[in-house]
């Protein structure tokens, strides 16, 4: 158990809908990272927050957004969902902002039908 929690574990929704994925980092970790893992793309970095502020942005679509709250939990919002958004979404956390020693949560499996 990494200490990072993600909810929900599974999510099934229809195209065009909007969903919110939630992540709670390990106690004491200030950074949260979001990743998308699909069969044909591998692990893709989406975005990082550090202590409430956006720190780095990767291959995140404009339809996706994220935020980190004062209690350090983070939410990833996915809107106007398409079939191709079906994937595993992982959250990771680390103590510092440099990305070192990231601890991953169990993931949320999103299925868009």
Partner 1 sequence: GESVGLHLPTLSVQEGDNSIINCAYSNSASDYFIWYKQESGKGPQFIIDIRSNMDKRQGQRVTVLLNKTVKHLSLQIAATQPGDSAVYFCAENTNTGNQFYFGTGTSLTVIP
- For residues 60, 58, 9, 95, the Cα torsion angle rounded to the nearest 10 degrees is -140
Rounded CA separation 30/49 (Å): 8
By CB under 8 A, the residues from 24 to 83 that bind partner 1 are: 33, 42-45, 48, 55-58
C-beta of 45 vs 79, nearer to partner 1: 45
Angle at 86 between CA 83 and CA 89, to 5 degrees: 150
In the complex, what is the shortest distance from the CB of residue 35 to partner 1, in angstroms, rounded to a whole number? 8
Interface with partner 1 includes 2 (CB under 8 A)? yes
Contact pick of 13, 60, 95, 104 for partner 1 (by CB under 8 A): 104
* Distance from chain centroid for Cα 103: 13
Q: Which residues sit at the interface with partner 1, rule CB under 8 A? A: 2, 4, 33, 42-45, 48, 55-58, 90, 92, 97-107
């Amino acid at each position: 158990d990494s200490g990072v929690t993600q909810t929900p574990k599974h999510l099934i929704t229809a195209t065009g809908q909007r969903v919110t994925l939630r992540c709670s980092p390990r106690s004491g970790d200030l950074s949260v990272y979001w990743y998308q893992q699909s069969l044909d793309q591998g692990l893709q970095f989406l975005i990082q927050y550090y202590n409430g502020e956006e720190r780095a942005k990767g291959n995140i679509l404009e339809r996706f957004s994220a935020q980190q709250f004062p209690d350090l939990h983070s939410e990833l919002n996915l809107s106007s969902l398409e079939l191709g958004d079906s994937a595993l979404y992982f959250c990771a956390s680390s103590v510092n902002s440099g990305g070192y020693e990231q601890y991953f949560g169990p993931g949320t499996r999103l299925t868009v039908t």
